[in-house]
């Protein structure tokens, strides 16, 4: 840009600068790194905002909800919000903190906080430090924090009730409850240490899945039951992602899950039963072990790598045995030819028949046979490791399979494209500069104002 002097555009004074500005904008050229239209004025008058922190401590004029900054990007950069002395601040609702994705520290203190919604921190997965000291909270649900990893929770100075709903706070904080001098208020108005809170019929439920271990053949049915205990009566939920069909029947404290026609796709899937009440939740789970015959899901052409590799993927449980044949003769595995498993996923084994320096003697039709006690599968592939001796042999010991046409290494072509591209850009720039210099000085096109610049391309075309 610096090559084009504003003077050569035959414009004068502030107008030319305005147009230069306009033109730069229209061209979409970024100026510097800062965006001059982004206002930092979204910060409310009781608050002060930096790029990572919002702090609202002035009681006047005060705020009743979290400030929201101009853009999502600005809010995403905030890690710390500090709110104090706000008489009108009484609730944290579902979406209030939605955009503050990177929030780590939240303090709301000496305000009137009375209600925190269950989804208040749904989007704040990094929240670690939560200080709600000296507010008007009488209860708080554990479900608000279920998905979080809170290291500090400060609740002192709130009129917490001595109710079952708050029992989880005692269980979570342990001795820390005494350090914070957390107290709760009984129905009659008496206050006591939260750590000494005991209530009948107020406990974390249990969950037990049975059987706890099982091996079932593909296509068969399986019945699992989950039993729970605990008061208040918990709710039972099964959590799983299955390809097999299932139905659930729950009555009282027992839930039965009936899986039918088990699919091998569900091998190693996890099934969980979760029992939850207002005090907390427990989970019990089992991993499905589904027995099924092997299946070769992939067998492809040999590829040269460090070694040559005939890649395969095979599913099967228990682990199948591998046997290779070349032109119907058993391949005896040794240091030079061997089956290597590189990766084991939930239900598949991925690997190679690895060949070290194969020659044309190794060429042929390879057949893979996989077996386990439930069945077998087989597949074939042609492998060609070297040109025949009467072909024109290159310097390499082994070459690409001969049916693949030889091409230049891609790097060479890329280099050519880059050089041609640079030349084209430079030439276009040169032409553009000529045009601007020529018409810029020509009074025929010297119409005042920005029109000059908008007309240039049109006039060039009409010539």
Ligand X SMILES: *[C@@H]1O[C@H](CO)[C@@H](O)[C@H](O)[C@H]1NC(C)=O
Dmax (CA) of the chain: 103
Binding site for ligand X (CB under 6 A): 51, 73-74, 77, 79-80, 90, 104-105, 112, 114, 129, 136, 138, 149, 151, 219, 261, 263
Nearer to ligand X, 183 or 367 (CB): 183
Nearest distance from residue 111's CB to ligand X, in Å? Answer: 9
Nearest distance from residue 11's CB to ligand X, in Å? Answer: 34
Nearest distance from residue 149's CB to ligand X, in Å? Answer: 3
Nearer to ligand X, 42 or 376 (CB): 42
Nearest distance from residue 232's CB to ligand X, in Å? Answer: 21
Nearer to ligand X, 50 or 359 (CB): 50
Nearest distance from residue 263's CB to ligand X, in Å? Answer: 5
Nearest distance from residue 25's CB to ligand X, in Å? Answer: 20
Burial zone of 159 (CB within 10 Å; 0-12 exposed, 13-18 middle, 19+ buried): middle
Nearer to ligand X, 60 or 392 (CB): 60
Nearer to ligand X, 80 or 333 (CB): 80
Nearer to ligand X, 151 or 287 (CB): 151
Nearest distance from residue 157's CB to ligand X, in Å? Answer: 13
What sign does the dihedral 409-415-416-418 (CA atoms) show?
A: positive
Nearest distance from residue 148's CB to ligand X, in Å? Answer: 9
Nearer to ligand X, 64 or 151 (CB): 151
Nearer to ligand X, 156 or 402 (CB): 156
């Amino acid at each position: 840009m610096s090559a084009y002097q504003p003077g050569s555009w035959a414009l004068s004074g502030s107008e030319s600068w305005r147009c230069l500005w306009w033109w730069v904008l229209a061209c979409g050229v970024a100026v510097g790194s800062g965006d001059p239209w982004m206002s930092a004025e979204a910060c409310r008058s009781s608050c002060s905002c930096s790029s990572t922190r919002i702090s609202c401590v002035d009681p006047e004029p005060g705020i009743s909800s979290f400030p929201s900054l101009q853009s999502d990007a600005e809010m995403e950069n905030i890690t710390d919000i500090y709110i104090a002395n706000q008489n009108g601040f009484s609730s944290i609702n579902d979406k209030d903190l939605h955009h503050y994705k990177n929030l780590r520290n939240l303090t709301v203190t000496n305000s009137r906080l009375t209600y925190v919604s269950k989804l208040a921190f749904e989007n704040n997965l990094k929240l670690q430090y939560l200080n709600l000291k000296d507010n008007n909270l009488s209860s708080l649900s554990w479900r608000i924090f279920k998905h979080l990893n809170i290291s500090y929770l400060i609740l002192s100075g709130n009129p917490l009730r001595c109710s079952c709903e708050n029992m989880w706070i005692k269980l979570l904080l342990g001795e820390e409850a005494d350090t914070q001098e957390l107290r709760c208020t009984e129905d009659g108005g008496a206050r006591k240490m939260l750590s000494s809170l005991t209530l009948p019929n107020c406990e974390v439920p249990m969950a037990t899945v049975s059987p706890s271990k099982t091996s079932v053949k593909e296509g068969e049915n399986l019945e699992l039951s989950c039993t729970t205990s605990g008061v208040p009566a918990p709710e039972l939920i099964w959590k799983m992602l299955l390809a097999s069909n299932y139905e659930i029947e729950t009555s009282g404290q027992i839930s039965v899950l009936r899986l039918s026609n088990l699919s091998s796709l569900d091998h190693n899937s996890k099934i969980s039963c979760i029992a939850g009440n207002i005090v907390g939740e427990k989970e019990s789970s089992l991993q499905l072990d589904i027995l099924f015959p092997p299946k070769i899901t992939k067998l492809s052409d040999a590829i040269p790598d460090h070694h040559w590799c005939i890649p395969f993927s095979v599913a099967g449980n228990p682990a199948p045995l591998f046997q290779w044949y070349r032109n119907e003769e058993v391949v005896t595995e040794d240091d030079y030819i061997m089956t290597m498993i590189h990766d084991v996923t939930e239900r598949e084994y991925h690997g190679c028949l690895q060949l070290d320096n194969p020659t044309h003697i190794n060429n042929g039709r390879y057949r893979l046979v996989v077996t386990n006690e439930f069945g077998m599968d087989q597949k074939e592939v042609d492998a060609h490791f070297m040109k025949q001796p009467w072909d024109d042999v290159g310097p390499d010991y082994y070459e690409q399979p001969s049916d693949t046409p030889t091409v230049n290494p891609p790097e060479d072509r890329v280099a050519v494209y880059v050089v041609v591209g640079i030349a084209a850009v430079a030439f276009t720039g040169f032409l553009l500069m000529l045009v601007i210099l020529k018409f810029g000085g020509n009074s025929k096109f010297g119409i005042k104002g920005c029109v000059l610049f908008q007309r240039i391309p049109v006039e060039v075309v009409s010539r």
